[in-house]
């Protein structure tokens, strides 16, 4: 499990770019406009050039109810940046303190007047440690780039940001809307049955 902790040196909002190439770096970087200068287009897309190659980008907003954060994550093996739903995170070596657990003594079951057997209580599993993530900055959208063409809705990163979050909310959230046509039909049958019953009772 993970928990966010606000850092004292939080920077301003950043721009997250997903490039269609392999770069042996994943995280913040300082790039001059000479090497990276995206230009906004009238249709809401963006155009830029990276090492002479023309890239087209599409901006994806962080879904409502989510907050984009840039958090440092450090591991003993390498420095890495993980991006969650609107969160760029970097682990620390600190964990959230766990509450103290009260230990209870054994209980006994009377078998005979002079014999008692101690019941073996199932030992509770220790709570899962909660790793702290140190927040660095926030962002409101993610720009997904493609070679000479704007990434479509079938792009892996576009689907990961848009569809995966909606899928997770459908599983863990609550909805009052019927999910299938049969549900609506069943509700109509129930309403018709209630109406017929009411009519039958109220008739002389």
Judge whether 76 and 57 are in contact, CB under 8 Å: no
How far apart, in whole angstroms, are the C-alpha atoms of residue 160 and residue 168?
Answer: 11
Domains and CATH numbers, the chain: 2-99+124-179 (2.40.128.680)
| pLDDT confidence band for 188 (50 / 70 / 90) | low
Q: pLDDT tens-digit profile of 34-71?
A: 888 999 999 989 999 988 899 999 998 877 666 665 55
Which of the residue ranges 12-21, 116-125, 160-169 has the most confident prediction, judged by mean pLDDT?
Answer: 12-21
Band of pLDDT at residue 203, cut at 50, 70 and 90:
very low
Which of 5-14, 38-47, 143-152, 173-182 has the least mean pLDDT? Answer: 173-182
Residue percentage of the chain with pLDDT more than 90: 13
- What's the pLDDT score for residue 190? 54
For residue 57, what pLDDT is reported? Answer: 95
pLDDT tens track for 4-16: 666 666 566 778 8
DSSP string for the chain: -EEEEE-TT------EEE-SS--S--S-----TTT---EE-TTS-EEEEETTEEEEEEEEEPPTT--EEE---B-SS-B--EEETTEEE-EEEEEPPPPP-PPPPPEEEESSSS-EEEE-PPPPPPPPP-EEEEE-EEESEEEEEEESS---TTSHHHHHHHHHHHHHHHHHS---S-SSHHHHHHHHHHHHHHHHHHHHHH--
pLDDT above 60 (res 135):
yes
- Confidence (pLDDT) at 154: 86
**Which pTM does this prediction carry?**
0.55
């Amino acid at each position: 499990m993970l928990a966010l902790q606000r850092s004292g040196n939080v920077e301003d909002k950043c721009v997250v770019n997903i490039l269609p190439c392999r770069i042996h770096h994943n995280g913040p970087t300082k790039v001059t406009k000479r090497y990276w200068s995206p230009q906004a287009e009238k249709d809401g897309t963006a155009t830029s050039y990276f090492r002479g190659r023309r890239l087209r980008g599409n901006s994806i907003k962080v879904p409502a109810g989510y907050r984009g954060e840039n958090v440092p994550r450090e591991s003993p093996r390498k420095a890495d940046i993980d991006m969650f739903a609107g969160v760029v995170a970097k682990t620390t070596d600190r964990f959230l303190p766990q509450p103290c657990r009260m230990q209870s003594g054994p209980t006994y079951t009377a078998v005979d007047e002079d014999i008692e057997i101690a019941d073996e209580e199932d030992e509770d599993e220790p709570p899962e440690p909660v790793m702290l993530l140190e927040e660095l900055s926030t962002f409101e959208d993610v720009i997904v780039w493609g070679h000479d063409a704007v990434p479509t809705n079938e792009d892996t990163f576009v689907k990961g940001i848009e569809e995966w979050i909606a899928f997770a909310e459908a599983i863990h959230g609550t909805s009052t809307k019927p999910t299938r046509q049969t549900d609506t039909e069943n509700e109509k049958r129930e309403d018709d049955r209630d109406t017929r019953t009411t009519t039958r009772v109220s008739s002389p």
